[in-house]
Structure 1
Amino acid sequence: MAENKLKLGIPKGSLQDATIKLFERSGWKVRMHHRNYFPEINDDDIICSMCRAQEMSRYVENGTLDVGLTGKDWILENESDVVVVSDLVYSKVSNRPARWVLAVAGDSPYKRPEDLAGKKIATELCHFTQTYFEKAGIPVDVEFSWGATEAKVVEGLADAIVEVTETGTTIKAHGLRIISELLQTNTQLIVNKAAWEDPWKRKKIENINMLLQGALCAEKLAGLKMNVPADKMEAVMGILPSLTAPTVANLYNKDWLSVEIVVEEGTVRDLIPQLRDLGAEAIIEYSLNKVI
């Protein structure tokens, strides 16, 4: 019987570092080698390969890779027939979906996609863009852009662009104006259909997904531990926005209780002073690697 191995694709490019950090928080250390597309990973069951996100879904579909991470946008662009296991919302900038937007020069007369009938649009997402305008019944000339897409309008090479953005800052910096959002996209964990039918590979992939999701969940949470006077416990409980019921244990001194909770990280700044005012002491905040 052949040794079981899972062929994993790591996206090369803008998501590379964020993906490797996510895997590290999930329990896998991926070590890159200079000019080498096959990183090492501390899991004998996995073989890693680097692949551009734009091409990932094709290699997963044809079985070159069993599983990979790529954007929803490139799955749609390539019309890839793969199994989407889950969404993994993370990026190099923020934990929110990116957007493919239609943008024009800030001083142009175009206000709506319909105003671009007969015009030239530059983008890297050609197939999706062409399909979008065809479905809308708007005839346009879609042209592939090899990069620096924002400059195409400024240089007079296109009337509009379709470009990906998270904050819109770069688009605005080039003097462009967004007139429509075509697609929201985020990273997805995708699997080859044959690999998904293999019991060993499926279980391995499900475990990977569980731990990746756990690491992403933990990014938004923090742990709090404190000592609370027994007679103040009800008041403290009234302000604790815990993920689940807090863990409470008696201290050696029966007049005090040890309380441990998991809360939204954004609440900690305001919560700690309130807890201190209610009599809590020895308050400890700690980060979480994974929440399953």
Structure 2
Amino acid sequence: MSVKLRLGLPKGSLQESTFQLFKRAGFNISVRSRSYYPSIDDPEIEVVLMRAQEIPRYVNEGVLDAGLSGLDWILENEADVVEVADLAYSKQTTNPIRVVMAVAENSGIKTVKDLEGKRIATELVRLTRSYLAKNGVTASVEFSYGATEVKVPQLVDAIVDITETGSSLRANKLVVIDTILVSTTRLHANHKAWADPFKKEKLQNLAVLLLGALRADSKVGLKMNLPKDKLDDILAILPAMKHPTVSQLINSDWLALEVVLDEKQVRDLIPALRRGGAQDIIEYPLNKVIP
């Protein structure tokens, strides 16, 4: 029986963005609607879908060799795991998520100290209790099974919740009084798997490809041709700290130039490059950027 890396991937809100990230990294994952065991086009990997909240616990206990879950859930599970890679993506953006303490707009609660003796609802019970203890505050912390934002102020005085954009908090007339943790998705492994040469190399290779796909997010390549005497003008137009590849066109006084840029810069750069003498400008997407 061949050895496989058993990898836990998050089911639910992170699932689609995770599958897209793996696709850009070169892995195709497909799953039937009710299946928890997707197929992946790598015979050395076995994928298990489960809630991100549970993945670090199963990795820590050795049920999974490795998994993708947020730092918040690794800390909440008090999981003793090896961090393989910090993958800065979430369900909507490539920005970190925040674990925040939030209260009703008109509650009069301004700081964590004002929560002494109050009631707090959260999915992150251990993380919340640890935060309160560090601040010398005694409060009742209860587990929330969902819809946490709507419990303030009728049922609880405050919540600790995960936010990516803050829109849900604002919609429920809540304000953030403190950020407890800034969290990103982590590829993490248990110590036994990390000590296995095959699984360690497999994880390291996976990390290189996933990080390369993330670096390519919001970046594009530009190719163009230009006369030799326009090179300095074109280099002056390109953003500082960029090092384009410049090559000589055969039997010509023209050069070919290629550079990788942030996609948001290109809209303004292309007309400027055209005015500066560049021709045959080609913009193309990137799948991976490996430094």
- TM tier relative to shorter chain: over 0.9
Gaps of 5+ in 2: none
Q: Which amino acid aligns with 1:70?
A: S
Q: Which residue is 1:198 aligned to?
A: 196
Q: Helix, strand or coil for the counterpart of 2:152?
A: helix
Alpha-carbon distance in 1 for matches of 2:143, 2:10: 21
Q: Which residue is 1:271 aligned to?
A: 269
Residue 183 of structure 2 corresponds to residue 188 of structure 1: no
CA contact (8 A) 1:218 1:289 kept: yes
Q: Helix, strand or coil for the counterpart of 1:219?
A: coil
TM-score by length of 1: 0.96
CA contact (8 A) 1:243 1:263 kept: no
- Identity percentage over the alignment? 52
Residue 45 of structure 2 corresponds to residue 46 of structure 1: yes
CA deviations over 1:208-229 (Å, ceiling 9, x no partner): 0000000000013210000111
Deviates more, 1:37-46 or 1:84-93: 84-93
Q: How does 1:125-274 map to 2 (within 5 A)?
A: 125-154=124-153, 156-241=154-239, 245-252=243-250, 254-274=252-272
CA deviations over 1:134-155 (Å, ceiling 9, x no partner): 121101000111000000014x
Q: Helix, strand or coil for the counterpart of 1:147?
A: coil
TM-score by length of 2: 0.97
Q: Which amino acid aligns with 1:34?
A: S
Q: Which residue is 2:117 aligned to?
A: 118
Q: Which amino acid aligns with 2:226?
A: V
> 1:250, CA displacement in angstroms?
2.2
Gaps of 5+ in 1: none
Q: Which amino acid aligns with 2:276?
A: L
Q: Which residue is 1:12 aligned to?
A: 11
Q: Which amino acid aligns with 1:150?
A: E
CA deviations over 1:227-270 (Å, ceiling 9, x no partner): 11111111111222377532222224512111111112221112
Q: Which residue is 1:82 aligned to?
A: 81
Aligned-residue CA RMSD (Å): 1.2
Q: Which amino acid aligns with 1:142?
A: V
Residue 107 of structure 2 corresponds to residue 108 of structure 1: yes
Q: Which amino acid aligns with 1:234?
A: D
